[in-house]
Structure 1
Amino acid sequence: MDTITDTTPQAPERLPVIRPERADGSDTGAIRALTAEAFAPPGKAVAPTSARGRGAVVREAGIIDALRESGALSYSLVAVHAGRIVGHAAASPVTLDPDDGGRWYAVGPVSVHPEFRRQGTGSALMRALLDLLVVYGASGVVLFGDPSLYSRFGFEPRDGLTLAGPGPGASQQFQALRLDGEPGVPTATVTYHPAFGDDRPER
């Protein structure tokens, strides 16, 4: 669940500032619009979802709204360039069965505006989000996405840690990263927050 495609560093004048989403709600509309544009099918313009409706709009934008409304948008970082939000990364709690007593989170959706891909924006967001999770005592994180994009951050498929109700090919797309220094990962089934709905993470 990502639009990270950046593999080359940005020139200094293009580096965005990474900061938390503002608590006053003033970033909400820009995050919604960015996410809708970042995840829109190629060549298809879509309107950003409203804060309530998720109908025929980009699903990832609705997920972020639903996480925020339910108080489950645990960490929300934006990348800002020249006053414009050009990237966003979210983290929300997941549950493990059996519970290992730790604090695990799902990373995603992660969005980067098309104009800022392949320039380091997505990587900067991911590193800042992982650093933040470490500081606040997360046990580890999981995500569903292309392994070629996330292996450089330390993510990899882990035997025994599985996604509830996975679809075809999910075993290689579902990856985990331990953050607390403990060895290995639990043997458990991971369930995403209900804001993700019945659909499993797809990207």
Structure 2
Amino acid sequence: MTSLRLRPEGPADAGPVRRVLAAAFARPDVAVPPEVRLVDELRGSDAWVPEAAMVAEHGGEVVGYALLSRVRVRTGGGFFPALALGPVAVAPHRQRTGHGTAVVQAALDAATELGERIVVVLGDPAFYRRFGFEAADRLGLTSPWSGLGEPWQALVLPPTTSDEPPPPRGEVIFPPPWSKV
């Protein structure tokens, strides 16, 4: 039985990742889904966090993907670094097998290892709650997607030291490629 391998995206993975994203987000009215363009534009930008772009590989084939990219929380005292989760995709023939859960958990583990404190996501609350996400407005975080309610979510990651201040409250600022999604 072939096992699932989770690892950071490498340079040779760009094509396979594009194929997974295109298949997972395929729509008959769009030649290239916006999620594919988003990853293409984020890759190589200052929002790119290479250690937190995770692929799921099954039998040597890239079948899943979860991207964490840099965002900032604007507070009264300046900016605080945070991460945005998305897009998350699993190849259609591997959906509902646990690969999505596994690749998201690998990305969140990478964020924790990097010492990150906040991850935001816009997605299905039933899926993301299993990782500890909650409504972002309860944490005092706003964004252009705040009006969507429950799908706008955030996760506070464990602090790296016991004297770390609580995570900030404020507006989450996304890099320009996100405005096209």
TM-score bin (small chain): 0.7 to 0.9
| Counterpart for residue 197 of structure 1 | 179
Q: CA deviation at 1:167?
A: 6.7
The answer to whether residue 78 in structure 2 is matched with residue 95 in structure 1 is no
Work out the number of aligned pairs and report it: 172
Is the alpha carbon distance of 1:131 and 1:18 closer, same or farther for their aligned partners in structure 2, counting shifts above 3 Å? Answer: same
Q: CA deviation at 1:35?
A: 0.3
Gaps of 5+ in 1: 1-12, 47-55
Corresponding residue SS for 2:177: helix
Query: CA deviation digits over 1:40-96, x for unaligned, max 9?
Result: 13xx497xxxxxxxxx42000000010003242212111111111000110111111
The answer to whether residue 16 in structure 2 is matched with residue 18 in structure 1 is no
Corresponding residue SS for 1:172: coil
The answer to whether residue 124 in structure 2 is matched with residue 146 in structure 1 is yes
Greater share of helix: 2
Q: CA deviation at 1:171?
A: 2.2
**Alignment partners' CA distance in 1, 2:58 and 2:93:** 11
The answer to whether residue 101 in structure 2 is matched with residue 113 in structure 1 is no
TM-score by length of 1: 0.77
The answer to whether residue 170 in structure 2 is matched with residue 188 in structure 1 is yes
**Alignment partners' CA distance in 2, 1:167 and 1:57:** 26
The answer to whether residue 58 in structure 2 is matched with residue 81 in structure 1 is yes
Look up the equivalent residue of 1:92 and give its one-letter code: S
Look up the equivalent residue of 1:30 and give its one-letter code: P
**Alignment partners' CA distance in 2, 1:129 and 1:167:** 23
Please, what is the CA RMSD of the aligned residues?
2.1
| Counterpart for residue 161 of structure 1 | 141
**Alignment partners' CA distance in 2, 1:17 and 1:100:** 39
| Counterpart for residue 47 of structure 2 | 72
Residues 38-53 of structure 1 aligned to structure 2 (within 5 Å): 38-41=24-27, 44=28
Q: CA deviation at 1:140?
A: 1.3
| Counterpart for residue 114 of structure 2 | 136
Greater share of strand: 2
Query: CA deviation digits over 1:138-160, x for unaligned, max 9?
Result: 01100000100100100010322
Look up the equivalent residue of 1:145 and give its one-letter code: G
The answer to whether residue 9 in structure 2 is matched with residue 31 in structure 1 is no
**Alignment partners' CA distance in 2, 1:45 and 1:119:** 28
TM-score by length of 2: 0.86
Query: CA deviation digits over 1:102-126, x for unaligned, max 9?
Result: 4310011011011111111011111
Is the alpha carbon distance of 1:115 and 1:183 closer, same or farther for their aligned partners in structure 2, counting shifts above 3 Å? Answer: farther
Look up the equivalent residue of 1:162 and give its one-letter code: T
